[in-house]
A and B are shown apart, each in its own frame.
Chain A
Amino acid sequence: MDLDTLIQIGGSTIRLSTPLLLACLAGLFSERSGVIDIGLEGKMLIAAFFSAAFAFSTGSVWIGMLAGIAASMALSGLHGLASITFRGNQLISGVALNFLASGVTVLIAQVWFGQGGRTPSLMQGGRFEPITLPFAEALRGVPVLGPIYADMISGHSFLVYVALLAVPLTWWTLYRTRFGLRLRAVGEAPEAVDTAGVSVTGLRYSSLVITGVLCGLAGAYLATGLQAGFVREMSAGRGYIALAALIFAKWRPWYALFACLLFGFLQALSLRPDVVESVVSTTIPVQVMDALPYILTVVILAGFVGKAIPPRAGGEPYVKER
């Protein structure tokens, strides 16, 4: 196997990791505040549709992105209404949101565009274009590192770099700001936060807003970065893989980056069975590659490779008067 193949796989790993990473960080904010979010998948899907639809009709990928974020935040708000205000079951609310997104996107796509539940393909301006990082061409001559920089690190679209920057930003927010401290506290011991005079409801809603924005970005990337347009069920279980990555990462931002890169790498490999075959010199069924992220997550959950301990108050609606 040569450097070119490695660079190709590296590049597609980064591309495929991006939606996972954004959704995983979205889940991280929500779950760290004590609201379990199974609805990442649905939020991504609805954001993918609205960003593609608006990018197509306005011709601007930015307006599309904002529309995607707005749609994702609307679902996030609904999740908050059910699980914070009305103290309903967070798991069931998340499941309902996933179905809502899966139905609504196809329904509206059919009515607006009449193409069997998809949007028309996006043209120039409706998609995020690749960004060439500074000096990418100049440094190409440097052996090994040059091509890696020019072809693997550089040349992705805007949201890829946003996702990568979101990791240190999330870390900083969680561990170096007052908001982050309170956010982590409200996921572990909401009664303590309440006693300190800080609103549990307010904190949880604001973390759901962040979740909505990040899921919106993830969806927008799917429809306007990774692909050119929306097709039905295009999130294809990525929200659940992100959930798996979140557990894999034990709810910590830097680990989330590595977990998402690992799962993205597995996805990239399943697109290149020839490479896998040449490395392990037997044929690995493509289904094994598909199932690997889920199997890994179950192994982690089983506690055989380190224990994943979720935020303590996760899934429990907070009742003030006890």
Chain B
Amino acid sequence: MNRMPAWADAVLVPLFSILLAALISALVILAIGEDPVEAFSLMVDGALMRSSGWGYTLYYATNFIFTGLCVAVAFHARMFNIGGEGQAMIGGLGVALACLYIPWPHWTIALIGATFSAALFGAAWAFIPAYLQAKRGSHIVITTIMFNFIASAVLNYMLVNVLRPPRAMDPATGPFPEATHLPTFQDMFATADNPLFRGSPANVTFFIAVLACIGFWFLIWRTRLGYEIRAFGHSETAAKYAGISPVRIIVVAMLISGGLAGLMALNTTMGEAERLVMNATEGAGFIGIAVALMGRSHPLGVFLAALLFGFLYQGGAELALWTSIPRELITVIQALVIMFTGALDNMVRMPLEKLFLLFGRGKRT
């Protein structure tokens, strides 16, 4: 099977997949009568050439790092967690309850408390599908999909009937108290004569996301638990033979996965909106799938893929603002990335393998 060096499999296959996705996206833009080159430069302009653009790009990237890691840790245990969206919704509930009902003295302590609460709620929401998969063999993909819908119903109920302040119209909590407001990049980096990141939502949660990436790497490749998760992912029978309990690995991996998805709510709910709204997740749970696939379940890859999707999100918003290209173009690009990196990867890999085989043979003779 080792026809291709590992670096080529890790770098070239995703690279070609992205190029293919980009090519098709360019064709789509052409087909709707716009100029793809101009569209791309508009996106770069809006997302990367101004510090406020970066502020949005990093804000979105923060969400996608969390949800990407959420999907990635499940991938390592050979499970497909489509439930990141629902786990993030319930994580948002955890953040809102912590922020609204506990009188925090300072945002640093509030952030620590809310982090625990978000992770706890997200993990709790992943627990039932994990338990059912481990103990009763119910397919985790289907149960997590169902739990997304149930989560949205739970959140809807909580916002409309419980958390909505009296006489408010929209289904949302009241604003969080002042002491829980997180510093944004503008608060941290802007000076009087150099107004960086003006008005953009990127906040201190980004650093938690970076910490999560490092922690993820350490967990998966430097701890016993991480080894067990990977061993289970490679071969369940071998893992069992080595004395690793499948039930424990499935449940623990899913708890970590759900916890990471829940953390995403810190960024959207505590960092940006400063209250819990109905559609706080905005599909980021699903984008995590694309991010994890593209990042090949490695934290560095997830980080880079999250940046790319952050750029696409912010750039897509700019496109929708200045051209007639709707924001849904980003959904199409996302779908193409998932398709090429996740399902059609053999289509890219097979010709590449042939190429390497040809090249390798040429060197030998």
A301 engages B139 (CB within 8 Å) = yes
Inter-chain contact B343/A298, CB cutoff 8 Å: no
Q: How far is the CB of A97 from chain B (nearest CB, A)?
A: 7
- Among B28, B157, B343, the most chain A Cβ lie within 10 Å of the Cβ of B343
CA distance A89 to B79 in the complex (A): 12
> Interface residues of B: mostly helix, strand, loop or mixed?
helix
Could you tell me if B342 and A107 are in contact, using CB atoms closer than 8 angstroms? no
Chain B residue nearest in CB terms to A241 = B149
Of the candidates B142, B145, B334, the one whose C-beta lies within 8 Å of that of A99 is: B334
CB within 8 Å: A-B pair count: 148
A316 to chain B, nearest CB (A): 13
Is A12 in contact with chain B by the CB < 8 A criterion?
A: no
Q: B145 and A243: CB pair below 8 A?
A: yes
Evaluate contact between A287 and B346: CB separation under 8 angstroms: no
A297 and B146 form a contact (CB under 8 A): yes
Of the candidate stretches B38-46, B93-101, B113-121, B321-329, the one touching chain A is: B321-329
Contact with A along B126-170 (1 / 0, CB 8 A): 001000100011110111011101100110110011000000000
Find chain A residues with CB under 8 A from B330 CB.
Answer: 103
By a CB distance below 8 angstroms, the chain A residues around B160 are: 287
With A243-B142, A287-B156, A310-B139 known to touch, is A92 a contact of B343 (CB < 8 Å)?
A: yes
Q: Which residues of B contact A91 (CB under 8 A)?
A: 80, 141
Q: Are the CB atoms of A88 and B147 closer together than 8 Å?
A: no
A294 within 8 A of B: yes
A130 located at the interface, meaning its Cβ lies under 8 Å from any Cβ of chain B in the complex:
no
A110 and B153 contact, CB distance less than 8 A: no
Contact of B332 among A38, A104, A291, A295 (CB under 8 A): A104
Interface string of A154-166 (1 = CB under 8 A from B): 0000000000000
In the complex, chain A residues whose CB is within 8 Å of the CB of B33? 111
Determine whether B47 belongs to the interface, using a CB cutoff of 8 Å to chain A. no
Knowing A91-B141, A103-B329, A110-B326 touch, does A294 contact B149 (C-beta < 8 A)?
Answer: yes
A78 to B24, alpha carbons, bound, how many Å? Answer: 14
Instruction: Contact check, A93 vs B346: say whether CB atoms are below 8 A apart.
Output: no
A243 to chain B: closest residue by CB = B142
Beta-carbon nearest neighbor of A314 in chain B: B139
B138 touches A298 (CB 8 A): yes
Cβ distance B78 to chain A, nearest Cβ, rounded Å: 11
Question: 1/0 contact trace for A278-322 toward B, CB 8 Å?
Answer: 000000010110110011011001110000001000000000000
Interfacial chain A residues near B149, Cβ < 8 Å: 237, 240, 290-291, 294
Inter-chain contact B335/A107, CB cutoff 8 Å: no
**Contact across chains for A87 and B145 when beta carbons are under 8 A apart:** no
The answer for the CA separation of A100 and B25 in the assembled complex, in Å, is 11
CB nearest to B329 among chain A residues? A107
Which residues of A from 87 to 138 have beta carbons under 8 Å from B?
87-93, 95-100, 102-104, 106-108, 110-111, 117
Q: Looking across the interface, which residue of chain B has its beta carbon closest to that of A298?
A: B146
Interface residues, chain B, with chain A CB atoms under 8 Å away: 28, 32-33, 80, 82, 128, 132, 136-139, 141-143, 145-147, 149-150, 153-154, 156-157, 160-161, 286, 289, 293, 324-326, 328-336, 338-339, 342-347, 350
Q: Can you list 10 contacts pairing A with B, beta carbon distance less than 8 Å?
A: A99-B286, A102-B331, A104-B328, A104-B332, A117-B328, A290-B153, A291-B150, A294-B149, A303-B136, A310-B139
Apart from the given pairs A93-B344, A99-B335, A290-B149, 11 other A-B contacts in the complex at a CB distance below 8 Å = A86-B350, A89-B342, A102-B328, A103-B335, A107-B325, A107-B329, A110-B326, A237-B149, A294-B149, A301-B138, A303-B137
